[in-house]
Amino acid sequence: MPKQPRAVFDTIFAFPPNRETLGGTAYFIVKKNANLLIDCPAWDETTQQFLEERGGVRWLSITHRTAIARAKEIQQCFDCEIVVQEQEAYLLPGLEVTTFHRELALDPDFEAIWTPGHSPGSACLYAGVAGGVLFTGRHLVPDRDGNPVPLRTSKTFHWPRQLRSVALLRDRFSPQTLTAICPGANTGYLRGQRAIDRAYDRLCAIDLEAAAQAQAML
């Protein structure tokens, strides 16, 4: 039997890793008349029923190209608005999409932020709920100690640009506006924790100079 999504916070849920997105973790935020799905969970009856019981999906925000999966089926089911950074919109042919360049406010609590590097159109989604939560896709993922890090791989689009994107996030937020990070991959390294806490302090602790010298992690 498929696993149910688990609560991260009162109104935020994490889906089980999805094989179609290379083990990516999708999230769902429940908000009256404005439910937001971040990346694509496994698309099956369990997922569809879970979303329907909570009012459906208003927006589907894509954080990077690997997270697209069944976006077409989700849009057809819920008639939701797909939000994607403009450089990756071509990967959704035939679908109605809302694109953005640097930033896009979906409503007073939700904002998409372009963070290029992992892929050309990599983006984070900031939610001004629960003290401020940043959904980072594969832009920042937990290391073995559960700390957020940019991860360089053989498929990284532009490593220096990814590190600059990390610096921009660090400069954008504060301890008052960012308390948690919900990564879109490597969530097993959280070891039972449902999000990365002390998010702003941990973001500031990333050694970008050392990362710039790091070799590819394959």
> What pLDDT was estimated at residue 217?
45
The model's pLDDT over 158-179, given as tens digits with 9 standing for 90+, comes to 999 999 999 999 999 999 999 9
23: left (phi over 0), alpha (psi -120 to 50) or beta: left
What confidence score (pLDDT) does residue 161 get?
97
> Angle 129-133-137 (CA atoms, 0-180°, nearest 5)?
140
Name residue 200's amino acid: Y
Amino acid at 173: F
Which tokens sit at 175? 């301890």
Would you say residue 121 has pLDDT above 90?
Answer: yes
**Contact in structure between 158 and 166 (CB atoms under 8 Å):** no
Confidence check: pLDDT of 216 > 90: no
Mean predicted confidence (pLDDT) in 198-208: 97
Distance between CA atoms of residues 165 and 150, nearest Å: 10
Q: What is the pLDDT of residue 195?
A: 97
Dihedral angle sign, alpha carbons of residues 39, 42, 48, 50: negative
Q: What is the mean pLDDT of residues 66-89?
A: 98
**13 CB contacts (<8 Å, ≥6 apart)?**
5, 6, 7, 27, 28, 29, 30, 50
pTM beyond 0.85: yes
Residue-range domain boundaries for the chain: 6-213
Read off the pLDDT of each residue in 187-205 and give the average, rounded to a whole number: 95
Q: What CATH fold (topology level) applies to the domain 6-213?
A: Metallo-beta-lactamase; Chain A (3.60.15)
DSSP classification of residue 207: -
The vertex-67 CA angle with 83 and 60, nearest 5°, equals 30
Model confidence at 2, in pLDDT bands (50, 70, 90)? confident
Long-range contacts of 7-10, Cβ-Cβ distance < 8 Å, separation of 24 or more = 7/194, 8/182, 8/194, 8/195, 9/129, 9/130, 9/133, 9/180, 9/194, 9/195, 10/130
Alpha carbon distance 52, 16 (integer Å): 18
Q: What is the mean pLDDT of the chain?
A: 95
